[in-house]
Structure 1
Amino acid sequence: MTLLQMLLEVGLGMLLGVLGGVFGIGGGLLAIPALGLLGLDQQLAQGTALVMVVPNVMLALWRYHQRNRIDWRHGLLLGLSSLLLAWGGARFAVGLDAGAMRLAFVAFLLALALWNGLQLWLQPTAAVPKRLPSAGLVLLGGGCGLLGGLFGVGGAVLATPILTLLFGLSQVVAQGLALALALPGTLVTLLTYAGHGQVDWASGLPLALGGLLSISWGVRLAHRLPARRLRAWFALFLVGCALLLALKG
Structure 2
Amino acid sequence: MTVSLLLSLMPMLLLGGALGFLGGLFGIGGGIIAIPLLASVYGMDQALAQGTALVMMVPNLLAAWWRYMRRNPVGLGVALRLAVVGTLTTYGAAQLAQGLDQHVLRLLFAGFLAVLAWGMIRPASSGGGGGRVRPALIPLVGLAGGGSMGLLGVGGGLVATPLLIRWFGLDQRAAQSLALALVLPCSAAALLSYARAGNVDWGIGAALGLGGMACVSAGVALAHAFPETVMRRLFAVMLAATSLAVLAGR
- Identify the TM-score tier after normalising by the shorter chain: 0.7 to 0.9
Output the CA distance in 1 between the equivalents of 2:114 and 2:120. 10
Normalization by structure 1: what TM-score? 0.87
1:87 corresponds to 2:91: yes
1:51 corresponds to 2:55: yes
Distance apart, 1:3 and its partner CA: 3.9
* Alignment correspondent of 1:212: 213
42-51 vs 65-74, which deviates more?
Answer: 42-51
Distance apart, 1:87 and its partner CA: 1.9
- 1:74 corresponds to which of 70, 73, 78: 78
Runs of 4+ with >4 A deviation:
128-132, 242-249
* Alignment correspondent of 2:10: 7
Identity of aligned residues (%): 41
* Alignment correspondent of 1:22: 25
* Alignment correspondent of 1:148: 149
Normalization by structure 2: what TM-score? 0.86
Distance apart, 1:129 and its partner CA: 5.2
- What is the aligned residue count? 245
Q: Cα deviation per residue 1:50-82 (whole Å; 9 max; x = unaligned)?
A: 111111111001100111112111101101111
CA spacing shift, 1:154–1:120, aligned 2, 3 Å: closer
Mapped contact 2:110–2:247 kept (Cα < 8 A): no
144-153 vs 101-110, which deviates more?
Answer: 101-110
Structure 2, unpaired ranges of 5+: none
Mapped contact 2:135–2:168 kept (Cα < 8 A): no
Q: Which amino acid aligns with 1:171?
A: Q
* Alignment correspondent of 1:133: 135
CA spacing shift, 1:30–1:157, aligned 2, 3 Å: same
145-154 vs 13-22, which deviates more?
Answer: 145-154
36-45 vs 76-85, which deviates more?
Answer: 36-45
Mapped contact 1:45–1:199 kept (Cα < 8 A): yes
User: Could you say what secondary structure the match of 1:190 adopts?
Assistant: helix
Distance apart, 1:222 and its partner CA: 0.6
168-177 vs 29-38, which deviates more?
Answer: 29-38
Mapped contact 2:117–2:237 kept (Cα < 8 A): no
CA spacing shift, 1:70–1:237, aligned 2, 3 Å: same
Output the CA distance in 2 between the equivalents of 1:65 and 1:227. 17
* Alignment correspondent of 1:168: 169
